[in-house]
Every structure is written in C-alpha cells, then in structure tokens.
A and B are shown apart, each in its own frame.
Chain A
Amino acid sequence: MSKQYKNTDTIRAGLKKRYAREKRFQFFGIASIFISFLFLLVLLVNIFSQGYPAFQQTYVKLDVKLDGSVIGVSKDSSPEELFKASYGKLIKNTLKEMFPGVKDRKKKRALKQLVSKSAAYDLRDKIIENPALLGTTQSFWFLAKDDVDVFMKGDIDRTLPEADRRIKDFQLKWIDKLLAENRLEKRFNTTFFTAGDSREPEQAGIKGALIGSLLTMLVTMALSFPIGVLAAIYLEEFAPQNNRWVDIIEININNLAAVPSIVFGLLGLAVFIGFFGVPRSAPLVGGLVLTLMTLPTIIIASRAAIKSVPPSIREAALGLGASKVQTTFGHVVPLAMPGILTGTIIGMAQALGETAPLLMIGMVAFVADVPQGILDPSTVMPVQIYLWSDSPERAFTERTSAAIMVLIAFLVVMNFIAVLLRKKFERKW
C-alpha cells in the first residue's frame, strides 16, 4: 500500500514544512506592516503634538485712548493723513499708563514688545474705517508678541533661573497683571491661515505658501498630465515598433526618472529663466520645472497602464471599423485611465513635496505677499517649512510643524480627489 502510493507519503511529509513556511511569511508580512504603521504613528504624533499649539494664538486686550492730538490727526483728517500717522505711539502710551514707572531703556523696549508690531496697523485700519473713534477710549484685542504667546502656551518654564529664560522676572510681573485683569486670551489662530510669511512669528501665516503651492501644482498638472499621457499614448500605440529613435527616446525617459531633482532646477534656471526670461520665483517657472520632473513618472506609469489593456479590446474595436484614434481614445485610454491616474497621483505628490529644484529658481526667497497669479513671486509649502525650521524663534518651531500638517492635509485632499476620479473611471464590469 505504502509502496503503491509513495507520492502521497512524500507529499504528506512535506506538508508541515510548507505550512510552516506560509505561516512564517504571513508573520513577516504582518510584522512589516506593523513596523511601518509604527513609524507613521511616531511621525504623525510628533508633528501633531508639536504643531497643534500653532493653531492657537494669544491676544492682548488694551484700552487705547485714541487721542488724535498725540499723533497729529483729527476726525476731519483725510484718509491719507490717517494712513500716515504713527499709531504705535498710542499703543506705547497705553502700555506706559498701564505699567507706570518703567524707566530703564531696555525695560521700555520690553514693555513695547508685549504686543505685536501689527497692533499699530490694526489700530490704523480701525480708525480709517471709523474716524469718529478718535477722542474716545476703546478696548481692542491685539496679537500678543511671540514670546508672550510661547509663555502662554506653557513653553517657558518660570521656575528656571532668570538668566535661562527669554521672559525675565519684570516681564513675568506684567504678564501676571494682564492675566489677573483677564486681558490675555488664547484664540484660534486665523492669522496663520490668512497671512503670508513674516519676520515676526505671530504675524506669519501659511497662506502665501499654500496659494503658491496650489498655483504651482495647477501649472504642473495642466502641463504634465496632457503631455505625459499623450506621449505615453503615442509611444505605446502609434510609434513604429523596433525603431531606433523610439528606443532612444524610451531609454532617455527611463533615465530622466532617475535624475536628481536639483538638476531639473539648474535646467529650469538656465533655460526657462535665463533663455526664455520667465519671471523668477513665480509659480509658472516652478510649475515648468516640476513638470519636467513629473513627466517621466507619468509617462512610465501611463505606458504600463496602456500596455495592460487586453489586445482583444483593440481588435474588437478595429474589427468593427473603428479607426486607430477612435480605438485608442474610445477604448484603450478609458480602460487605462485608473493606472494613468495612479501614476499622476504619484508624480504630483512627488512634485508637491519637492524643494531642491525650486531653490535653484528663486522660490526660496522671503515672500511676504500672498501671490495673486502664476507670475507673482511666491514660495511653496516645503520651502516655507524649510525656511521656518531654520528660524531661531521658538514660535517658529510650532509653526513649522503646523505647516507640515497643512502640507499633509493638502496632499490628502489632492489624493482624495484623484482617488475619487479614479473610482469614477474604474468601471469594473
């Protein structure tokens, strides 16, 4: 019996080993998923815990005596005169009244720095809006200076020796007094989402970089998607097979995908800015450079997707009398669309996170204004993150993390839209 069914015994003997191997493989798989999740979790927790305070900002309430004579204006002054007046004096006087007896020059300066420099501009805007306020005393909430803000968020330990703290004992007394009078309040940080970059952390916002990234991505998308997909379609469906030139193009595209991105930046600097005179630091030139970088990714992914469309579909359409172009755009491309979109997502995500090539074309500049169009100087989010992470102020640390969170959110939204689009095309029958 056992001799007759020798194979059965051999197979049975080996079964245990096979299942063990399978189990081992599954374990490794689960372990690697677990490890990658762990890393992701550490990263996210770190960023979120550092970044979430940036979404709050401390405000100071000051009762400002709006004495027009101090700054040389009255209710009847023209808007121009109102605009030119130095409202900083009013705020300085208010603070002097609140904390009398500050004589020391250094302390005087410290007193002025309880509120942000932007307070004077806020005040100006309010008075231009309603000059009738002049001569009255009004309460306003102003942005607190970053040091006060950092202290309010508990990032400065008052138990440390005075020399080791950024906030000295006399400043602490002022803050305690303000706190006692309920003049300090933490609110949602709208400035972060409505302002461009600034030297002052409390006035710095991500909007400039966000819009810059958005415009750059739009340029990149508008150029790289059609060019990449059409190139892939031509190479895959129409180009002559076994042609030397097609082979050379193919090799070059594959090589371009591996070129370090900073090289594309140099190319963009030389060609787009140097030769064609595209304005530097603009989303247009950024988009052009990132298009160069994204194209190989999109072309390679699209070609793979087009190649995987079964030839029977092409034959069916051709056999019914569809022309080559009708077959390609009516059947092949729609079926390849999910794969093409996947490639595009990967390419665009890469482009969104890219810093190096943009440094070369001037997008690393300090740009305080929110760009209005693709020709305005601007920066992008990864560059903004890099710039902030380089700043010495404590308040920029949390803004760096917050900017990373915004970047991640941007990426998630972008990918979500792409996944929705892909779902729409992915008609699995």
Chain B
Amino acid sequence: MVTAMTDTTKEKQMTDQRDSINDRVANKESESNAADNRSSMDDIHKNEEFDIEINGTVGKPFVDNVKMSSRNCDVFYGDKQAIFDVNVDIGNHEILAMIGPSGCGKSTYLRVLNRMNDTIPICRVTGEHKLDGEDIYSKKMDPVLLRARVGMVFQKPNPFPKSIYDNVAYGAKLHGLVRTRSDLDDLVEKSLIRAGLWKEVKDDLHKPGTGLSGGQQQRLCIARTIAVDPEVILMDEPTSALDPIATALIEELMIELSGKYTIAIVTHSMQQAARVSNRTAYFHLGKLVEVNETDKVFTNPEHKLTENYITGRFG
C-alpha cells in the first residue's frame, strides 16, 4: 500500500506538469483508491471518474502487420486474477506504449510476452499468445529460445557484476552467436554504439558495469539486450529510475531502435508514451481499456477512463 502510494505520487507529479492543480484537489480521494485498487472496492464506487464500466477494449487493438498477438489473455496470481481478457496486437517495427495506474497489470502483461512469469510459481497465464504466428505457450516453444527472440529491459538497471565487455558479450556467448574473439569484439562495439554508450565507455570496457551511472547502466542493459539481436524488445519502465537527460537519451534510442526491432514499453510517464510510441494501450484494473494511435489517445481518447487518466483525474 505504501509503495503503491508513492507510485501514485510520482505519476501525480508527472501529470501535474500538464494539468491544473485545482482539478487534482477534488480527486485526491480517488487517487488513493487507485493505489488501493481492488482491496477497497466500496470506496472506489464512490468515485465516478474512476468507476466506469469497461466493456471490452475500444479503439483499434488489432493491426495488419502483426508481430506479437494476445487473445483472451487472463493472468492469475494464485486465486487472484491480475489480468482480464486482454486482446491486443503488436505490429512489426512499432513502439507500443502501455500506460495505466499502478497495479493495473501492464507490467504483468509485458512479462507474459516473454514468459518471464514462468519464474513465479503461483502465476498462471491463459489465452493464446503468438509470436510470428507461433504459440509462445505451446510445449514446442522453448522459453530459452523465446527469450532470445523477445528481449527485455527491466525497470531497475541490472547489469551483471562483471565488466562492461562481459555484460554485452554474455548473451552472444550464451547462445553461441559468435565464433571468434574478434567477432565478439565487433559485436560488443556495435551493440554499444547502437545503445549510444560506446563513446563513454570505449576505454573502460574491462571496468565493472555496475560502476557506471544509472543512465549508463540502463543503456548497458539495452546494449546487452540488442547484442543478442532479438526481434522484440520489452521495456518495463526503463527510465523510471533515471534523470531527464538520461531519459531523453534512452527515448531517442528507442525511436532509433524501432527501425529494426518491435518494442513494447511500459511507462508511467504519459509524456514519454506520447513522445516515443506509435500506439498506446491504456490498462485499468487488469483490463485493457483502449488501444489507439498515440496521437488519438492523447488528443481525443475514445474511452472516458482513458480521458480521466490522461487528464490527471486520478493517478
């Protein structure tokens, strides 16, 4: 509850930049409810801005040029259902941003896409999830291969306690992608250049990756991910721990990378979603409320809940 509250406060600050303060005071109560989520349903019912019925996803969740898709996705943690019937496509070479209040299931959904939820014993995923038409939850799909094809960048930069070089080289070595030492050197250099980190670290490749600053660490993690050359990159709030300058660098990087990769990003910053993504998906209490072109979501949302969220009526 306490952490959830802090998250809401963070979001509040972000939306603050755009919205008047007056609006927010009236909705203070609903903010705390958003954090409290399902545990205090009674309170929520009092807030009309928050409590609007969701009848399926509005907007355009499906695209023609599909890279990954989910149909009837439900996720349970033990007896508790975290995600309710999500249907969405992620198009080739697009950036899909997922926004929504804390605890709405957007990170959980992201982890469905590379089966990271497998590591949580009580977590159960149902529905049909496809990568290039292949079922990623079928017995034939090896999670190791899937995660090599669908890379992930985490919220907190998590470089290995090894040198910068070894961090980037790890995935390639793991999968046997390179044969010679010089190929590996080239791959490390290329990945670091693409992650925009090469200039800063090219003389310190054998220094520990954990000695870098937060923003550099996160770019190192991105370099590590793209060194494996995945088809899709999932980013779980990749800039939430970074300052605005590092954030800007990573956002630029995302736009650059989208030429080659398909990217799905979870973010708490609506400006970030607006800046980088092609399409935006709004999650609410485990349900996918609206998916639309990013411009449309932020200028003319179809669903009332989306509008309430992006205008900062609740966090």
Chain A interfacial positions (CB closer than 8 Å to B): 240-242, 310, 312-323, 326, 331, 335, 427, 429
Contact = CB atoms under 8 A, between A and B. Distances in A.
A314 B156 contact: no
A413 B108 CA distance: 52
A318 B170 CA distance: 12
Contacts of A313: 158, 160-161
A242 B225 CA distance: 33
Contacts of A316: 154, 158-160, 221, 224
7 contacts: A313-B158, A315-B116, A315-B158, A320-B147, A321-B148, A322-B174, A429-B162
Contacts of A310: 158
B158 A331 contact: no
Contacts of B114: 319
Interface of B: 114, 116, 119, 121-122, 144-148, 151-152, 154, 156, 158-162, 170-171, 174-175, 208-211, 221, 224-225, 228
A429 B208 contact: yes
B147 to A, nearest CB: 4
Given A310-B158, A316-B159, A427-B161, 13 more contacts: A315-B116, A315-B119, A315-B152, A316-B158, A317-B170, A320-B148, A320-B151, A320-B174, A320-B228, A321-B228, A322-B144, A429-B208, A429-B211
Given A312-B158, A427-B161, A319 B147 contact: yes
Q: Identify the 5 closest CB pairs spanning chains A and B, nearest first.
A: A429-B208, A321-B148, A312-B158, A319-B152, A321-B147
A235 to B, nearest CB: 14
B259 to A, nearest CB: 22
Contacts of B146: 321
Contacts of A314: 119
Contacts of A319: 114, 116, 147, 151-152, 154, 225
Contacts of A322: 144, 174
A32 to B, nearest CB: 35
Contact of B154 (A315, A323, A335): A315
Contacts of B174: 320-322, 326
B121 A240 contact: yes
Nearest to A335: B161
A312 B158 CA distance: 6
A121 to B, nearest CB: 61
A419 to B, nearest CB: 20
B160 A317 contact: yes
A105 B147 CA distance: 94
A335 B210 CA distance: 14
A319 B167 CA distance: 13
Contact of B224 (A242, A320, A323): A320
